[in-house]
Amino acid sequence: MRNVLGSILKVLGYIIFAIFGLWSFIIDLAIVYQMAGTLGFLIAFVLFPITFTAAPWYALIAQGN
């Protein structure tokens, strides 16, 4: 029973991790789109690992949050 419950919770954790990762990516792309327009959005979509790193820091500096 313990292994079954652990497996169910592990799968649930992976699903939640995937949902929040996708949500974070969408928010990062929205930040880039607001600041750099369509071309910046396309570049950020192609170079998504850099987007995950740079977009939150850019929002922090540019918007003062």
Spell out the per-residue pLDDT of the chain, length 65, in tens. Answer: 788 999 999 999 999 999 998 998 888 888 888 888 888 888 888 887 887 787 778 778 877 76
Residue 37 maps to a domain = yes
SS3 64: coil
Residue 15 maps to a domain = no
End-to-end CA distance of the chain: 46
Give dist(CA 41, CA 48) in Å, integer: 10
Which residues constitute the domain of residue 63? Answer: 25-65
Residue 8 maps to a domain = no
Total of domains in the chain: 1
Whole-prediction pTM value? 0.65
